[in-house]
Amino acid sequence: MLCDTSMATTEIEKLKREFLEHTEIARGRSLKTVENYDRYLTRFLTFAKIKSAKQINDNLIREYRLWLNRQPATEKETLKKRTQNYYMIALRAFLKYLGSRGVDSLSPERIELAKVADRHLDLITLQELERLLKAPDTSTLQGLRDKAMLELLFSTGLRVSELAGLSRDLDIDAEEFSVRGKGEKVRVVFISPAAREAVKLYIKKRNDLEDAMFVNIVKDHTKTAPTRLTPRSIERIVKRYAIKAGISKKVTPHVIRHSFATDLLSNGADLRSVQMLLGHANIATTQIYTHITDKGLRETHKKFHSRRK
C-alpha cells in the first residue's frame, strides 16, 4: 500500500511547509507550537512514505496509530496516550488546512483522539501558599525581587514565560496591564495591592539600567550588567522557596497559576472569566479546574438539600 520513492515526499513536504507557515503567520501561533507541529508531522510522513495528500486514508491512520502506540518513550514504557494525542492533533490540524485549500485528502473529523484520564492538578493549600509568599527575605534586593515575582504570579496567573518577559517600565499604579501570551494573543491581567507593593519596593531598590523587570542580582552592576531571568531560572527560584517554606510537594510557577485559578473559582468567579484571565484559547482547557468547585457544590448539597426523614 505504501510507496517509497524520492518524489513521494515532494508534494506532501511542500504542503507541510505551507501549513507550518500558515500556522505561524495567519494563525499567529508561537514558534514553539510550529516546531512541535513540524516534529509531529515529520514523524508521520517518515512513517507513511506517501506520494500525495490523497493517500492519507482511514487504513493509513489506523496503521500509524498502532505504530505510535508501540513506540518506546523509555526503556520500560511506550508513548503515553496523551502524547500520542499530540501527534494526532497536529495531523488533524494539517488535514483541516488541506481541506481549506481544497486539497483532496482525509476529512479531519475522521481523526479521533484516544481517551485519557482526567488531568491531575498539582495544587498547594492556602496555608502552603501563604508560607511560600512569606519565604523571601525582603531585607535584601534578591529577596525583594523574589517576593515581587511570587506575588505577581499569584495575583495575575501569568505563565512563567510571560513573567520572564515583563519590562520594568510596567505601570504598576494602573493596577492592570496587558500581556502577550500564547499565539501572540493579548489579554489584560490585574495586580493585587500586595503584588503592587512588592513590585514597587523591588523596583525602588534597583540601581541598574536593565530594561527587564526580573534580572539576576550582581554585586557591582558597573562591572557586570544584570541580565533578564529565564523561565528556567524562575522555576528554580520558586522550587527553592517551596523547600524553604517546608512544602514537600513539587511547586512550580504553573502550580501557582493553578492556585490563582482555583482561588477565583472557589470564591465564585465564573469559568468564562477565569478562561479570559488565564488566556486559554478554549474553555475546555479551563474546565480542568471545575473539580475544585464541584467539591464546594457537594458540600452545599449536603448542607441544604432536604432529606427524607
Which of the four pLDDT bands, split at 50, 70 and 90, describes residue 212? very high
Which of the four pLDDT bands, split at 50, 70 and 90, describes residue 218? confident
Nearest partner of 155 among 135, 137, 180, 129, judged by Cα = 129
Q: Which residues pair with 228 in a beta bridge?
A: 215
CATH 1.10.150.130 residue ranges for the chain? 8-110
Residue 308 has pLDDT above 50, yes or no: no
Residue-level pLDDT at 26: 87
The residues near 18 (Cβ < 8 Å, ≥ 6 apart) are none
Nearest partner of 183 among 27, 302, 55, judged by Cα = 27
CA angle at 141 for the pair 136 and 143, rounded to the nearest 5° = 5
Residue-level pLDDT at 292: 61
- Over range 254-277, report the average pLDDT: 89
At residue 220, what are phi and psi to the nearest 5 degrees? -130, 95
- Over range 275-297, report the average pLDDT: 76
pLDDT tens by residue, 75-112:
778 888 889 999 999 999 999 999 999 999 999 999 98
pLDDT tens by residue, 64-73:
999 999 998 8
Neighbouring C-beta atoms of residue 54, cutoff 10 Å: 14
Query: At 208, which helix (H) or strand (E)?
Result: none
The residues near 279 (Cβ < 8 Å, ≥ 6 apart) are 159, 179, 181, 182, 185, 187
* CB burial readout 257-296, b (16+ within 10 A) else e: bbbbbbbbbeeeeebeebbebbbbeeeeebeebeebbeee
- The mean pLDDT value of the chain amounts to 87
Pick the CATH number of 126-300 from 1.20.1290.10, 1.10.443.10, 3.30.70.260, 3.20.20.70: 1.10.443.10
Which of the four pLDDT bands, split at 50, 70 and 90, describes residue 8? very low
CATH 1.10.443.10 residue ranges for the chain? 126-300
Which of the four pLDDT bands, split at 50, 70 and 90, describes residue 155? very high
Here the cell at position 241 is 522557596
pLDDT tens by residue, 169-207:
888 888 899 998 877 788 999 999 999 999 999 999 998
Percent of the chain with pLDDT over 70: 88
Residue-level pLDDT at 7: 41
Distance CA 184, CA 25 (A): 11
Query: Which positions are annotated as active-site residues?
Result: 159, 182, 254, 257, 280, 289
Overall pTM > 0.85:
no
- Over range 43-54, report the average pLDDT: 92
Surface-to-core class of residue 127, CB atoms within 10 Å of its CB (0-12 exposed, 13-18 middle, 19+ buried): exposed
DSSP string of 139-197, one letter each residue: TSHHHHHHHHHHHHHHHH---HHHHHT-BTT--GGGSEEEEE-GGG-EEEEE--HHHHH
Q: What is the CATH number of domain 8-110?
A: 1.10.150.130
**Amino acid, single-letter form, for residue 244:** K
